[in-house]
């Protein structure tokens, strides 16, 4: 069974689209379709139902997907194990991280790493922390440098790196901005702008406040939240390293919010020398 065809099949299944899969694989759409057709011919069955512009896995496709993922993961793990027999730090390193960490935490680390290991081809994927954990489970990424979940996953390894204290903020002209101290009940009278409810950060904020929050808008990009707060659309909870003159920090008794940022990897897969060298940077 052709590995390239299996890779194309898993990618199309994950993307839900031949066109998006072709972009991810850096192939033309006809080339991706040809690989899927070759696999279907070899297995003598259809793997996808194609209705208009929508595709879905057939019963055969659903049966093949987890097996194909395991095959590709075993091949990648074997490649890393063989590569790690030497002491050379080379090859490709795929990392998932958030935009916030990429902007505010990673630059000095990446500068040192690329200077010390110029032969490593870094492949950075900017995504939500939850998506990074999913990609590590599926073998698509070696490392995650992300917001760590409150309940640490039992199937992944984690290592805290940074404490990330956070502050409740409003715009300078918000009705609460002039107050020396604010009660939590007063804050909750006003609408908030927070990350989506499925995110680790939102879960952490909700647990710290432990009362219903009137969320006006949700977005996972903290820089966007910062902008929306600065123009007066609501309050939010942002990392202290994002604060500036456009934001007013509210002092709220007994409300302390902080999150952990760190490394995530799969304990059942061999880490490449490049991945281990990156972990040693922290």
Range 163-258 classified under CATH 3.40.190.290: yes
Domain ranges of the chain: 3-83, 91-161+261-279, 163-258
> What fold, for 91-161+261-279?
D-Maltodextrin-Binding Protein; domain 2 (3.40.190)
Is residue 192 scored above 90 in pLDDT? yes
Residue recorded with tokens 């390293």: 241
Is residue 84 scored above 70 in pLDDT? no
pTM over 0.95: no
Per residue in 119-151, pLDDT tens? Answer: 999 999 999 999 999 999 988 899 999 999 988
Residue recorded with tokens 């950075």: 124
Overall average pLDDT of the 73-79 stretch? 81
pLDDT at 104: 93
pLDDT at 88: 84
Is residue 240 scored above 70 in pLDDT? yes
Label residue 280 by pLDDT band (50, 70, 90).
very high
User: Which CATH code for domain 3-83?
Assistant: 1.10.10.10
pLDDT at 52: 72
Per residue in 206-231, pLDDT tens? Answer: 999 999 999 999 999 999 999 999 99
Is residue 29 scored above 70 in pLDDT? yes
Label residue 111 by pLDDT band (50, 70, 90).
very high
Q: 70 to each of 73, 74, 94, 140, how far by Cα in Å? A: 5, 6, 18, 11
Domains 91-161+261-279 and 163-258 share a fold: yes
Share of the chain residues as helix, strand and coil, in percent rounded to the nearest 5? 40, 25, 35
Q: Which of 1-5, 50-54, 84-88 has the lowest mean pLDDT?
A: 84-88
pLDDT at 130: 93
pLDDT at 245: 92
Q: Which residues contact 184 (CB under 8 A, 6 or more apart)?
A: 209, 211, 252, 253, 254, 255
pLDDT at 70: 85
């Amino acid at each position: 069974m052709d590995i390239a065809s299996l890779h194309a099949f898993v990618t199309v299944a994950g993307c839900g689209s031949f066109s998006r899969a072709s972009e991810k694989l850096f192939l033309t759409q006809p080339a991706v379709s040809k690989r899927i057709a070759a696999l279907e011919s070899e297995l003598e069955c259809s793997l996808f139902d194609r209705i208009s512009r929508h595709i879905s896995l057939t019963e055969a496709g659903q049966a093949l997907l987890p097996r194909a993922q395991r095959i590709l993961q075993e091949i990648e793990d074997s490649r890393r194990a063989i590569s790690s027999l030497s002491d050379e730090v080379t090859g490709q390193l795929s990392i998932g991280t958030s935009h916030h960490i990429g902007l505010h935490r990673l630059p000095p680390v990446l500068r040192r790493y690329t200077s010390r290991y110029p032969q490593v081809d870094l492949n950075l994927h900017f995504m939500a922390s939850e998506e990074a954990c999913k990609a590590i489970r599926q073998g698509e990424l070696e490392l995650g440098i992300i917001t760590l979940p409150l309940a640490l996953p039992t199937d992944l390894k984690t290592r805290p790196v940074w404490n990330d204290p956070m502050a409740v903020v409003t715009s300078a002209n918000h009705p609460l901005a002039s107050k020396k101290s604010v009660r939590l009940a007063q804050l909750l009278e006003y609408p908030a702008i927070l990350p989506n409810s499925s995110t680790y950060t939102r879960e952490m904020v909700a647990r710290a406040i432990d009362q219903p929050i009137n969320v006006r808008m949700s977005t996972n990009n903290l820089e966007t939240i910062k902008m929306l707060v600065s123009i007066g659309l609501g309050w939010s909870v942002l990392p202290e390293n994002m604060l500036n003159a456009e934001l007013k920090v509210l002092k709220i008794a007994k409300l302390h919010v902080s999150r952990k940022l760190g490394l995530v990897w799969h304990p059942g897969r061999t880490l490449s020398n490049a991945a281990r060298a990156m972990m040693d940077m922290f």
